[in-house]
Structure 1
Amino acid sequence: MSRMRYFTKVEFYNYRADSGGEKAGYYALIFFFYNALIIYLFGLLMYKTDFLERARLYYSNEHLFKLAIYSPIFILELAPLLFLLRSKKENLQSIGLTTSNTAISILLGIVGAIPFTYQIILDFILHKKEIQLEGANLWVEFLILFIFTALPEELMFRGYIQTRITGLIKNKYLAIVVVGLLFALMHIPFQMSMVNMTFMDYLITNWVYMIQLMVMHIYFVYLYTRNNNILVPIISHTLIDYIQLYIK
């Protein structure tokens, strides 16, 4: 295989050592641990210091406040990914960022959110439940989730780590499960700072949630490989989080 530029459905699981895949697998693991550390430190900053209280003094607008808070972590998360791609001479299509099939990707993303949100939507329609936004703008909140949560997580885990880890783990199913575990573990550092728990305490208390995150990873991989456009799982991811957060 020549130097990879874009993944077909087969190549998604076959980025092997013969094309530099083994090194890419190690880079993917390093990238994971780097981001786990960044998120852990961000959690400490948010919940173990008075940073939030001090920052709020400078922003009367909640959306500007969120933009100021999340933009630095967004850059810290994705800057190494762009560096890795550039150093390996791989373009953005290799992590699913493409303009091809945009319309169908958006549609697939919307449909893809249904299995995880249909019950909430039905309850909302049948029982006339409220959207809990406390006066915030619906579209702005959607964009915040899109840009600062779904986009980086999909690029990191479905776009980069999952496609490169197969250089180390030859069995595609095992590779998906392993990255699913990494995806679940990635959420622990920030969450355990928020709820003031140790790593093991959080894991024992929230093991069902960890399994749910692993299932979500497997599902998002499935969505991504429908047409190799990372926009599909990004849209689904955003809608799932949005509906679960704001429709009560």
Structure 2
Amino acid sequence: MNRLIKLFRTDRSYREEVSKYGISDGLLALGVFAALMVLYYFAGVYQATKKIYLGVPVNLLFIALCVFLAVIRKDGIRSLGFKRKQAAKSVLTGLALGILIVLVDAVVSLAHGSRLAPFGTIVWRFFYYLMIIALMEEVVFRGYIQSRLFGLVRNNVAATILAAIMFVLMHIPYQMGAAGVNWLTFCQNNGIWFVFLFMWHMVFTYLFRKYNSVFAPTLMHALMDWGNILFIG
């Protein structure tokens, strides 16, 4: 029982860190989320109409914004999960879980007769999922938004569920804009996907809090997404 409790224990430094955030921090987090929703929608519409993908610059912009806010508010980038303490454990955990998922994907894909994607695609996509997708979502959501929500919602369970709902909602505007459908239609067609997004948020949140580090969730997240494109056919 003690081992089980220890496994799911949140790092003490994380609890101490989020306790210092106040209302202004929480409001800033909501502001970042609102801006993200708006820009994602217009980026999706722009892709649908102009055939130009803006995901890379938009995601890099929000990483930079969260770093800027953390620095100017004197929280520092450590508050986003970039810490040396327990970094090695965090990296190894993220790699182990991510590689396990990739291996499972590989076995399933090969069993269905799929073949390995071109080498260039594999390499480029790895860095894309690592730096543009996983790092952005972990820094912005687990590192910045969720931790600052404690300034508004002091209850741990409530804050976590609220952040999970926001994480699900964050994935809607871009896809909705790119598909050219309304909110209700998109939601009706993607209910199962929303459930998985909610669950993955909980997993990534646990990994972040376990070591108070962004490395484990980022690596697992990147490898998980990357595993989906390793095989084609």
Rounded Cα–Cα distance in structure 2 between residues aligned with 1:130 and 1:94: 42
List gaps (5 residues or longer) in structure 1: 1-7, 53-68
Match of 1:56 in 2: none
Residues 112, 50 of structure 1: CA spacing in aligned structure 2 closer, same or farther, 3 A cutoff?
closer
Q: What residue number does 1:138 align with?
A: 122
Question: What percent of counterpart residues are identical?
Answer: 26
Counterpart in the other structure of 1:154: 138
Distance of aligned partners of 1:77 and 1:164 in 2 relative to their CA distance in 1, 3 Å threshold: same
Distance 1:138 1:49, change over 3 A: closer
CA RMSD, Structure 1 to Structure 2 (Å): 2.3
2:93 matched to which residue of 1?
A: 108
Instruction: Check 1:116–1:213 CA distance in 2 against 1; reply closer, same or farther (3 A cut).
Output: farther
The normalised TM-score by structure 1 is: 0.80
Tell me how far apart the structure 2 counterparts of residues 208 and 237 of structure 1 sit (CA, whole Å).
19
Matched, 1:87 2:89: no
The answer to whether the 8 Å contact 1:13/1:166 transfers is: no
Aligned residues: 222
Using the size of structure 2 for normalisation, the TM-score is 0.85
The separation in 1 between residues aligned to 2:44 and 2:102, in whole angstroms, is: 28
User: Counterpart of 2:217 in structure 1: which amino acid?
Assistant: P
Distance 1:101 1:193 in 2: 40
* 22 and 116 in structure 1: CA distance in 2 versus 1, 3 angstrom threshold: farther
* Alignment correspondent of 2:192: 208
Alignment-derived partner of residue 36 in structure 1: 37
CA distance in 2, matches of 1:111, 1:177: 26
Point out where structure 2 has 5 or more consecutive residues left out of the alignment: 1-9
The correspondence for 1:192, drawn from 169, 173, 176, is 176
Question: 1: CA distance between counterparts of 2:147 and 2:194?
Answer: 22
1:237 to partner: Cα distance: 0.4
Name the CA distance, whole Å, in 1 between partners of 2:12 and 2:94: 21
1:78 positional shift = 2.2
Q: Structure 1 residues 208 and 137 mapped into 2: Cα distance closer, same or farther (>3 Å)?
A: closer
Task: Determine if contact 1:106/1:232 at 8 Å carries over to the other structure.
Answer: yes
Give the Å deviation of 1:229: 1.6
- Give the counterpart letter for 1:154 in structure 2: E
